[in-house]
Structure 1
């Protein structure tokens, strides 16, 4: 059993008192058993008085030992146990808080980051890349005719399509890209340090990968496509303005026939 620091200090204190008690007891024995051998005859009364003092000191030391072992130590032990329980409770609450915070930033259906996380991450990327003067790319993706999938095959199949698209996006993006589900069938990718040409090629690879997927559900084999609007931050606009510009380009891709990238 490991001892708390306060318990260890208490035992050191008890050991010191115990050692002092042994010395007092040894001195008392010397005085009590043969005082004549230590003092002259005219000093025997003083020796007896000294023996009584030593005896009294021994009684006090014994009382301190008894009180420490049977009253003070149980109090310290109880305090240590309560402190341990409090620490364990704090750790549990902290872990639960982190879990709740993670849940608040994660889309429950796909396991991706959610809109709240995306909004915060886009602002942070813009601030950081403003400082180092590097580009930030943003693409907004929306699955084409997704309502028809839900209406024709049911929401369970629609959910499986969303999860499949989420896996595809995670596989196609880099580790430092932010990939999030914004809601419904809309996704977003923040791609830092990419020029517009690079971002267009990147978005095209993702569009082709989504179009090439086959989502299996029972005997059904579904195909989906996505429209993509993308923009590169102009180093002046806010995160909201940046997002709205990419979103307008997404709707332009929808108007132009879907399953395409519009930059």
Structure 2
């Protein structure tokens, strides 16, 4: 049985009261052993008065102990249990809130970060890496002719393709890069502290890896390709302008025939 602090304090108080009662009882017993022949009249009256006072004190202590045990302690126990239940409920709600907050920033289909997270992360990356004068790169990816996958093989297969692409992007990025699904078949990657030359090479590796994704339906392979727009922050533009520039490069890659990287 678990005791709360209030209950422990109550038991300590009961022990002290019991100790005082025992001491008073011993005093009264010792006074009772005295005889009138061994005391003068004044001392005898004083002893009698002390004995009566001790008797009342013992009755008071007994009443205090009984009321404490049968009246006060049950109330303390109920309040302590309620407090424990409230603490447990608070912990459960706090954990649930964290879970919901995480869910609000995560794409349910792929497990990647979502658009809301991406927007906040891009703003923060530009602020922090701008302070230390380090480059920030941005890739915007869009799967080519993805609608035909859904129309031909169904949305379940389309979802499988999106999950495979998400897995591929995570494999080819670092732990501190931001990889997000912006919506539909569009993805984005924020790459920090990487020069433009290597950024373009990484984008090309990702494009190639996506094109090599192996999915089949009834032994028929599904071909998936992506177009990628790659931009490096010029340290002057806002995060919105930076995003629009990368997005324009994506559409340029689309217009140039798809399945390519445009920087």
- For the aligned pair, the TM-score class normalised by the smaller chain equals over 0.9
Q: Deviations over 1:69-117 (max 9, x none)?
A: 1122111111110011001111111111111111111111111111001
**Runs of 5+ unmatched residues, structure 1:** none
Q: CA deviation at 1:33?
A: 4.0
Give 1:106's aligned residue. Answer: 106
Provide the TM-score with structure 2 as the length reference: 0.96
Distance in 2 separating the partners of 1:37 and 1:229: 115
Give 1:197's aligned residue. Answer: 197
Give 1:244's aligned residue. Answer: 244
Question: Which stretch has the larger CA shift, 107-116 or 66-75?
Answer: 66-75
In the TM superposition, 1:101-250 aligns within 5 A as 101-250=101-250
Q: CA deviation at 1:42?
A: 4.4
Provide the TM-score with structure 1 as the length reference: 0.96
Distance 1:217 1:88, change over 3 A: farther
Contact 1:17 1:65 in 2 (8 A): yes
Q: Deviations over 1:118-143 (max 9, x none)?
A: 11111111111111111111000000
Question: Which stretch has the larger CA shift, 23-32 or 80-89?
Answer: 23-32
Q: CA deviation at 1:3?
A: 2.3
Q: List structure 1 segments (4+ residues) > 6 angstroms apart after TM superposition.
A: none
**Runs of 5+ unmatched residues, structure 2:** none
* 1:45 maps onto 2:28 in alignment: no
Secondary structure at the aligned position of 2:58 is classed as: helix
* 1:259 maps onto 2:259 in alignment: yes
Q: Deviations over 1:228-261 (max 9, x none)?
A: 0011111111111111110000000000110110
Contact 1:35 1:47 in 2 (8 A): no
Give 1:81's aligned residue. Answer: 81
Distance in 1 separating the partners of 2:241 and 2:38: 100
- Tell me the number of residue pairs that the alignment of Structure 1 and Structure 2 aligns: 263
RMSD: 1.4
Secondary structure at the aligned position of 1:107 is classed as: coil
Question: Which stretch has the larger CA shift, 124-133 or 5-14?
Answer: 5-14
